[in-house]
């Protein structure tokens, strides 16, 4: 495995991870809003 390959994989991994975290945070915000409305 070359260094370039490793860096590329790391970059893709961090992008995917950031996207997942962002999506989860967005979902949490939406669910909190819904929770406030239903209360």
Q: Which helix (H) or strand (E) holds 1?
A: none
Provide the pLDDT for residue 1: 65
Q: Domain range for residue 3? A: 1-39
Closest CA to 2 of 21, 13, 10, 26: 10
| pLDDT at residue number 22 | 96
Query: Cα–Cα distance between 8 and 11 in angstroms, integer?
Result: 5
Residue 14: CA atoms inside 13 Å, Cβ hemisphere, count?
6
Task: Tell me the C-alpha to C-alpha distance, in Å, between residue 36 and each of 14, 24, 31, 33.
Answer: 33, 18, 9, 5
Q: What pLDDT score was predicted for residue 6?
A: 95
pLDDT for the residue 37: 80
Q: What is the per-residue pLDDT for 20?
A: 97
What pLDDT digit, counting tens, does each position of 1-39 carry?
A: 699 999 999 999 999 999 999 999 999 998 988 888 886
How many domains is the chain built from? 1
């Amino acid at each position: 495995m070359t260094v370039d390959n490793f860096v590329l994989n790391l970059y893709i991994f961090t992008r995917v991870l950031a996207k997942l975290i962002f999506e989860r945070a967005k979902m949490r915000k939406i669910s909190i809003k819904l929770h406030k409305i239903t209360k």
